[in-house]
């Protein structure tokens, strides 16, 4: 294996950058796009359709090697142009194979992506890049009926490039009597984008199964990854040729997103979290006369959903993006947020990595997360060398997490003074508004599940967790703690901790009700039952 390392060399800032990219030149090289040895239609798409003049440093380092046909493992951060680093050679490979393609039904290129949003974004960029080529591209992801996928996969002129999430691809491989396996047998280029995240999300077995179907000798394989965990070793051995090239565009002193992004941490009482978020949003909006674009991350999809509804009722221009939304909703929301300023995206981690939203001015992270996820979320702002700001909003019981971030240059700050400007009235609607109440109950259950899995990191026991969960139910505006299914409580290991248990039969059905009705746990807090289940 050959190892290449990119270094930040002194470079003269091109006139194009002085004119067009004054705040974002740090990731751009002085290598012009026109220096690439690629086909004229691809060059035309790059310069005329996509408006590129210079390559990013990642592209300048990786493209010459990849265009030679070598297998490559590239360590590269998001937001540095890596998508085009694998799309340009992919399109060029398709141009060559198209001339010699014997069966139009065969698929010549496959790109695997960890998320629906990132896969959709790759498809959009690939279609732009192939504007002047007779190349057909399809994208299949979860959240869309498989019948629609089949319609795309059986395009009358065939499919040249397939972009997919591993889970959905495996669904089709398991259900089509080998047709898709046969169509992939002649594949010429395979790309695993964000390979570390593919493994983090549990796709290892799907990828290993897929690699067994694909030809090795004629296939070029590209692995792009922000980190190189040991779990990636086996995939490397299966996917890459022994003479592959390793290109490190990051270096050992790593992810420098946080160097130019102002980071602060706000610690306030748990009961004040919603008011604190209200004040932080309002203060940033008031201080951004030239426009703002904010992403707020929450620990769970249900929390993102409830907070989005709450702040939308309060008059904030909120968009909602999380795994509980349909793929069509998420695609539309991503496009809207990408295209317009003066919007706020409330999200779970489906937006944390890979997807590019230009011009994000502020990222707020509410509650506990992982260090790696903190960095990737923070990376939604300050992209391509631009300035950005990140705020981490914690409660006192979550502050042990700061020990994991001791090298992240976080500055302690406080919430702007005064009353919460907008959300106070919305909170009064939770009990009377059926949708808000249901969303609050689901958020409570998801909160309990998430923090139950992180007790050790927070130095908490299960009884303390249940106490905090009860407080959370009040924070989100519920008058009574929602009841949970007995089976869910058992799976979480929380039997006998005082959680309310939903009645399995008889009275007390419906939303959590008055005291004494339907509780099947004598240690439970209050009575009633709930139809809702523990959700993420």
pLDDT tens for each residue of 21-65: 223 345 788 889 999 999 999 999 999 999 999 998 899 999 999
**Model pLDDT, residue 338:** 86
- Contact status, residue 276 vs residue 363, Cβ threshold 8 Å: no
pLDDT beyond 60 at 460: yes
**Model pLDDT, residue 217:** 73
pLDDT beyond 60 at 223: yes
**Model pLDDT, residue 408:** 85
- Contact status, residue 206 vs residue 199, Cβ threshold 8 Å: no
Q: What is the mean pLDDT of residues 123-152?
A: 93
In whole angstroms, give the CA distance from residue 151 to residue 156. Answer: 10
**Model pLDDT, residue 375:** 85
Average model confidence (pLDDT) for the chain?
83
For 257-425, CATH number out of 3.40.50.300, 1.10.10.370, 3.60.15.10, 3.30.750.24 equals 3.40.50.300
pLDDT beyond 70 at 519: no
Instruction: Tell me which H or E stretch contains 222.
Output: strand 220-225
Q: What is the mean pLDDT of residues 390-410?
A: 93
pLDDT tens for each residue of 118-134: 999 999 999 999 999 99
pLDDT classification of 523: cutoffs 50, 70, 90: very low
pLDDT classification of 250: cutoffs 50, 70, 90: confident
pTM of the model: 0.60
Q: 1-5, 16-20, 308-312: which has the highest mean pLDDT?
A: 308-312
**Strand ordering across the sheet containing 137-140:** 2-5, 245-248, 72-75, 220-225, 189-192, 109-112, 161-164, 137-140
Q: What is the largest CA-CA distance in the chain?
A: 77
Structure tokens at 36: 């690439």
Burial of residue 24 (number of CB atoms within 10 Å: 0-12, 13-18, 19+): middle
Q: What is the mean pLDDT of residues 407-425?
A: 84
pLDDT beyond 60 at 117: yes
pLDDT beyond 90 at 176: no
Which CATH superfamily is 2-248 part of? P-loop containing nucleotide triphosphate hydrolases (3.40.50.300)
**Model pLDDT, residue 209:** 85
Domain layout of the chain by residue ranges: 2-248, 257-425, 441-536
* CATH topology match: 2-248 vs 257-425: yes
Structure tokens at 477: 């505006």
> From the CB of residue 460, how many other CB atoms can be counted at a distance below 10 Å?
18
Structure tokens at 207: 């990828």
């Amino acid at each position: 294996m050959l190892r290449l390392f990119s270094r930040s060399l002194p470079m003269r800032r091109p006139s194009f950058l002085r004119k067009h990219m004054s705040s974002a030149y740090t990731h751009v090289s002085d290598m012009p796009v026109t220096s690439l040895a690629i086909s004229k239609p691809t060059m035309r798409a790059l310069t005329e359709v996509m408006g590129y003049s210079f390559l990013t440093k990642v592209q300048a380092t990786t493209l010459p090697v990849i265009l030679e046909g070598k297998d490559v493992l590239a360590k590269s951060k998001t937001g540095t142009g890596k998508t085009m680093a694998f799309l340009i050679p992919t399109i060029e490979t398709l141009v060559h194979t198209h001339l010699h393609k014997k069966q139009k039904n065969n698929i010549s290129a496959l790109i695997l992506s960890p998320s629906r949003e990132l896969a959709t974004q790759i498809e959009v960029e690939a279609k732009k890049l192939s504007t002047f080529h007779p190349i057909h591209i399809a994208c299949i992801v979860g959240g869309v009926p498989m019948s629609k996928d089949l319609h795309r996969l059986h395009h009358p002129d065939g499919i040249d490039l397939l972009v997919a999430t591993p889970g959905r691809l495996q669904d089709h491989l398991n259900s089509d009597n080998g047709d898709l396996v046969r169509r992939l047998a002649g594949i010429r280029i395979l790309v695993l984008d964000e390979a570390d995240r593919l493994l983090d999300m549990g796709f290892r077995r799907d990828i290993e199964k897929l690699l067994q179907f694909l030809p090795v000798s004629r296939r070029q394989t590209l692995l792009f990854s922000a980190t190189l965990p040991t779990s990636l070793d086996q995939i490397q051995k299966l996917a890459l040729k022994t003479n592959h090239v390793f290109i490190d565009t990051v270096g050992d002193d790593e992810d420098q997103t946080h160097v130019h992004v102002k980071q602060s941490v706000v610690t306030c009482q748990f009961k004040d979290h919603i008011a604190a978020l209200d004040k932080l949003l309002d203060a940033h909006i008031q201080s951004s006369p030239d426009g703002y674009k904010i992403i707020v991350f929450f620990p769970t999809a249900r929390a993102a959903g409830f907070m989005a509804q709450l702040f939308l009722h309060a008059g904030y221009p909120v968009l909602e993006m999380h795994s509980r939304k349909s793929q069509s909703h998420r695609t539309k929301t991503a496009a809207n947020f990408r295209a317009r300023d003066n919007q706020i995206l409330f999200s779970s981690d489906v937006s944390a990595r890979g997807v590019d939203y230009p011009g994000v001015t502020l990222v707020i992270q509410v509650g506990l997360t992982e260090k790696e996820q903190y960095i990737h979320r923070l990376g939604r702002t300050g992209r391509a060398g631009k300035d950005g700001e990140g705020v981490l909003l914690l409660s006192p019981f979550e502050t042990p997490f700061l020990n994991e971030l001791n090298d992240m240059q976080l500055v302690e700050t406080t919430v702007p003074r005064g009353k919460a400007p907008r959300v106070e009235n919305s909170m009064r609607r939770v009990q009377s508004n059926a949708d808000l109440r249901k969303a609050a109950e689901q958020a409570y259950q998801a909160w309990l599940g998430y923090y139950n899995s992180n007790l050790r990191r927070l130095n908490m026991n299960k009884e303390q967790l249940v106490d905090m969960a009860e407080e959370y139910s009040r924070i989100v505006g519920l008058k009574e703690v929602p009841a949970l299914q007995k089976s869910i409580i058992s799976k979480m290991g929380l039997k006998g901790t005082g959680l309310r248990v939903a009645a399995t039969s008889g009275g007390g059905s419906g939303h959590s009700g008055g005291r004494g009705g339907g509780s099947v746990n004598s240690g439970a807090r209050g009575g009633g039952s709930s139809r809702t289940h523990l959700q993420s």
